Amino acid sequence: MDKNYAEENLTIKINISDKIAILTLSRPEALNALNSLVFYEIDRFLDSLEQLNEIRVLIITGEGKSFVAGADISEMSSMNQEEGLAFSLKGQKVFQHLESLKIPVIAAVNGFALGGGCELTMSCDFRIASTKAKFGQPEVNLGLIPGYAGTQRLSRLIGLGNALHLLMTADVISAEEAFRIGLVQKVVEPEELMNVVMELAQKIAMKGKKAIENVKYVTRHGYNIPFDDACKLEASYFGNSFGNGESGEGMKAFLEKRKPNW
């Protein structure tokens, strides 16, 4: 990303190197709370990212002691019903944009991931958490419910009972508990978080680009359709893999006992 683009952003920071992009939420004075400007700048960056064919993995993290502490209550407090609906739809649109990226998206959760912050992590493909990370959907404490598809993604990730328990109690859980119920995939010490996530991103970036894109699409899309239809979708993409050149190099490299030259 060119320097000028990065300087235009007020609420996010972008770093790109070695085929990996890092988006850092950067409102530390507000614990990186989500407001309309944050949504706008994330969405604009995602638009530009889709044009950068060399990027293989996106990492999302937060600046300071928080990942994202939630939606910006100071912006929401004066909203009426129509404005609240629009704010919900805006967040859902951005998170769906993130979820639908062809490339893998990893959340590096360094601190509080509450409300909209937890919803943001769930729109990523998987989550690596610091031992200092905290997760929760505390909206009912404000007389609200999650607005960025949290009720839907949470139940799909951790099961209906676990989701309803968190949604109704507004409990804030530790990274270890989030790991136990399947909300995160790994918990590491704070000083190791970005190193571990970068190593993971680099590992994925070394795989066949098209194969990774296809795995993401078939797995995500297949999850929401009948099993038999999902199996047909998988078979179709498996068959198509043989004609794209990538699989030919991969299998040839395996037989020749060398690393593939993608």
Active site members: 119, 139
Residue with tokens 């498996």: 238
- Strands 112-114 and 66-68: what pairing? parallel
Radius of gyration of the chain (CA): 19
> 153: which 2 tokens?
């993604």
- Strands 186-188 and 126-130: what pairing? parallel
Residues 108, 223: Cα–Cα separation, whole Å: 24
- Strands 66-68 and 12-17: what pairing? unpaired
Q: CB 114: neighbour CB atoms within 10 A?
A: 24
